[in-house]
Amino acid sequence: MTVTLIERETEPILISSLTWREFKAVEQLIDRPGVRLSFLDGVLEIRKAPGKKHETIKERIGSLVEIYLEFLGLDFTPTGSMTLESESEKVKREAHESYELGANRKRPDLVIEVIVTSGGIDKLEAYKRLKIPEVWFWINDQLSFYSLGNEGYETVSKSQLLPNLDIALLMRCINIENHAQALREFRSGIVN
């Protein structure tokens, strides 16, 4: 494997037919800054670390969510892009942003993914196996919400964990160019 393949700003590299043990060995070999690995059902996904557009949107959404959680007075812990894995479920995934809502949680309750390039493993299937109650996807300047039920994830029109969150206000503030202005407008909007 060459570094030039990993550094491309396109689709991820996928390597299939790996056992969990082989994946863990490859993971140690490729453990370096700027590379993100995911695994599902024998398929290893190798991605270059995200660029500015991805990071800006991720940080904006995270900041707005944290303002809202603080406003609600919820006990929460931001867990960022922590590694989530299960050998028995043959899955490893690093969320872009994640939150534990409440004290002493074993895993995040909410995961947020910002998708700039397509391809790769089935992220919803990975999170289903990791038992993440809610997943948000930012794709093509739109937020989509998924709630975990008995049969897997269902598309929902708003957050089930944060049912009173004003989605129109959130979307408007995500798309404001100036970060500080976006935070101010969001704070003002949730108070009124």
Work out the average pLDDT over 107-115: 96
Q: Is residue 28 part of a domain?
A: no
Q: Residue 10: its pLDDT value, please?
A: 60
Work out the average pLDDT over 39-64: 92
Q: Is residue 5 part of a domain?
A: no
Q: Is residue 122 part of a domain?
A: yes
Record the tokens describing residue 15, joined without a space. Answer: 């390597």
pLDDT bin (cut points 50, 70, 90) of residue 51 is confident
Question: Which residue reads 């024998």 in tokens?
Answer: 42
User: Is this prediction's pTM over 0.75?
Assistant: yes
CATH code assigned at 146: 3.90.1570
Q: Where in 2-121 does DSSP place strands (E)?
A: 13-15, 35-40, 43-48, 76-78, 83-86, 91-94, 97-101, 110-115
- Of 142, 72, 170, 66, which Cα lies nearest the Cα of 110? 66
Q: Is residue 131 part of a domain?
A: yes
Number of helices (H), then strands (E), belonging to the chain: the values are: 6, 11
pLDDT at residue 8 is higher than 70: no
pLDDT bin (cut points 50, 70, 90) of residue 177 is very high
Q: Residue 9: its pLDDT value, please?
A: 46
Q: Is residue 44 part of a domain?
A: no
Work out the average pLDDT over 51-56: 87
Q: Is residue 29 part of a domain?
A: no
Q: Residue 149: its pLDDT value, please?
A: 95
pLDDT at residue 152 is higher than 70: yes
pLDDT at residue 154 is higher than 50: yes
> How would you list the strands of the sheet with 76-78, edge to edge?
76-78, 97-101, 110-115, 134-139, 142-149, 152-156
pLDDT at residue 134 is higher than 90: yes
Contact call for residues 118 and 11 (beta carbons, < 8 A): yes
Residue 190 burial (CB count, 10 A): 18
Q: Is residue 135 part of a domain?
A: yes
**Rounded Cα distance, 54 and 9, in Å:** 12
**Rounded Cα distance, 160 and 182, in Å:** 24
pLDDT at residue 75 is higher than 80: yes
pLDDT at residue 6 is higher than 60: no
Contacts of 4 by beta carbon, 8 Å cutoff, 6+ apart: none
Q: Is residue 30 part of a domain?
A: no
Work out the average pLDDT over 71-98: 95
pLDDT at residue 78 is higher than 70: yes
pLDDT bin (cut points 50, 70, 90) of residue 61 is very high
Q: 145: which strand partners?
A: 136, 156
- The tally of domains found in the chain comes to 1
Domain of 125 in residue numbering reads as 51-191
